[in-house]
Amino acid sequence: MDKNELIKKAYALAKEQYAALGVDTEKVLENMGKVIISLHCWQADDVGGFEIPNAELSGGGIQATGNYPGKATSLEEMRADLEKVLSLLPGSQRLNLHAIYGDFEGERVDRDQIEVKHFQSWIDWCKKQGIGIDFNASFFSHPNADSGYTLSSKDESVRQFWVEHLKCCRLISAEIGKQLKSPCVHNIWIPDGSKDTPIDRNGLRKILKKSLDEAMEIEYPKEYMKDAVESKLFGIGAESMTVGSHDFYMGYAISRNKMICLDNGHFHPTEQVGDKISACLQFLDEVLLHITRPVRWDSDHVVTLNDDVQLIASEIIRNDFFDRVNIGLDFFDASINRIGAYVVGTRAVKKAFMIAMLEPTSKLTEFEEAGQNFERLALLEELKTKPFGAVWDYYCLQENVPVGEGFIADIQEYEKKILSKR
Ligand code: RNT
Ligand code: ZN
């Protein structure tokens, strides 16, 4: 039988099985359009950016491991890679840019000097792709981050430098959102923290609060840009204390009406971000997610379809939180084909959303409300082996992207033709 015919036949059977549970797969296919994922540009080049030649990169705050050949070394290469990635993904995406990815045209532009013009070619490119942009100030890989402190620095000139950077980034974000007619989510993550036990935790947090308030004094319209602050438990070199902890930023976000960014690599390993969404949304209008796969620590492995990601997706679907949750990815694996990393990770997130949509939630709620917890457990277990794959394949077919493992060959070809020649 023709391959496509087979996919359609399998879908027809799956449709019936789900219908028997009260789930309308046609509705699910339609609703998948709401799952818009912000693709983090930094998977393409191991968080290097285009500020200065690679070799001169200062450490300070972030690192990718691996040196698989083919990483993007210019804006042109990065855009070509992203176009390839976009062509292999079903549904809609956005682009998530870091400030170090500007179009600096060989000029040295320090972070407190960046302007909209350095991102105009990105805006134009995204307009052409029909996608929105999200943005991030970059508080790492810079000599002013080498001390381990940026916005919480006790060195006033260092602190001022980063406050300025943040102001520039928020302005750029607002202009991006205005031009693309889609609010630009601006996220703040700083690496600030202490390797060994500090004495003055309070002083550092007071400074961070002051710096954030200063840099965010200007309010931009929500149609243009929205601020988010990202907490973290610890980082390499900041094992004993992180200034921007979860408690700090939760308080900040609630009191300043900002978003909290929940990165599922940034908590104790058994904490689940999926559980935090409904907690945060009792007090905040919106949250931002950084979906990643922490393997034993915040290792930023490529996302796979695991329980953590599933709970995140299920919580959003069960509560129809689409308008209040912004979905971003945050992983960077330099040890495998980077295009493949994007496609596998993004598809895994989309799959989690589809599985969530294929859940007979009202039936499960009925069981729960009636105290029928065995029944709830049994149905949840049975759902795991329903023919989700047939619906997923049909969705990919409909979206005109490779079905199933079909994208592997596409990526191999791209590697042979393009990546291996870099
Ligand atoms: C680091 C944070 C942060 C970065 C990106 C590059 O621990 O997760 O979000 O990964 O901004
Ligand atoms: Zn993150």
Which position among 84, 290, 301, 351 bears the catalytic label?
290
Asked if residue 78 belongs to a domain, the reply is: yes
C-beta of 230 in contact with ligand 1 (< 6 A): yes
Asked if residue 36 belongs to a domain, the reply is: yes
Over residues 395-414, mean pLDDT: 98
Which position among 51, 263, 308, 333 bears the catalytic label?
263
Asked if residue 129 belongs to a domain, the reply is: yes
Q: Based on the structure, what is the number of domains in the chain?
A: 1
232 carries an active-site annotation: yes
Q: Which atom of ligand 1 is nearest to the CA of 62?
A: 1
Amino acid in position 27: K
Q: How far is it, in rounded angstroms, from Cα 383 to Cα 375?
A: 12
Q: Which domain holds residue 64?
A: 24-357
230 carries an active-site annotation: yes
Instruction: Write the residue with the smallest CA distance to atom 5 of ligand 1.
Output: 330
45 carries an active-site annotation: no
Record the tokens describing residue 25, joined without a space.
């797969």
pLDDT tens-place string over residues 144-161: 999 999 999 999 999 999
Instruction: Write the residue with the smallest CA distance to atom 11 of ligand 1.
Output: 189
- Nearest ligand to the C-alpha of residue 290? 2
Asked if residue 365 belongs to a domain, the reply is: no
Asked if residue 408 belongs to a domain, the reply is: no
Strand partners, 328: 38, 290
pLDDT tens-place string over residues 27-58: 999 999 999 999 999 999 999 999 976 545 65
For residue 133, is pLDDT > 60? yes
b/e map 332-358, b = 16+ CB within 10 Å: bbbeebbbbbbbbbbbbbbbbbbbbbb
Asked if residues 294 and 264 have their Cβ atoms less than 8 Å apart, the reply is yes
For residue 60, is pLDDT > 60? no
Q: How far is it, in rounded angstroms, from Cα 146 to Cα 366?
A: 55
189 carries an active-site annotation: yes
Amino acid in position 352: A
330 carries an active-site annotation: yes
**Short-list 35, 25, 34, 94, CA closest to 392:** 25
Instruction: Write the residue with the smallest CA distance to atom 9 of ligand 1.
Output: 189
Over residues 94-106, mean pLDDT: 97
Which CATH number goes with the domain that contains 65? 3.20.20.150
C-beta of 45 in contact with ligand 1 (< 6 A): no
pTM, entire model: 0.97
Asked if residue 370 belongs to a domain, the reply is: no
Q: How far is it, in rounded angstroms, from Cα 9 to Cα 290?
A: 36
Asked if residue 404 belongs to a domain, the reply is: no
At 321 the pLDDT is 98
Out of 141, 142, 189, 327, give the residue to mutate to test ligand 1, the one with the largest number of ligand atoms within 8 Å of its CB: 189
pLDDT tens-place string over residues 165-212: 999 999 999 999 999 999 999 999 999 999 999 999 999 999 999 999
Asked if residue 187 belongs to a domain, the reply is: yes
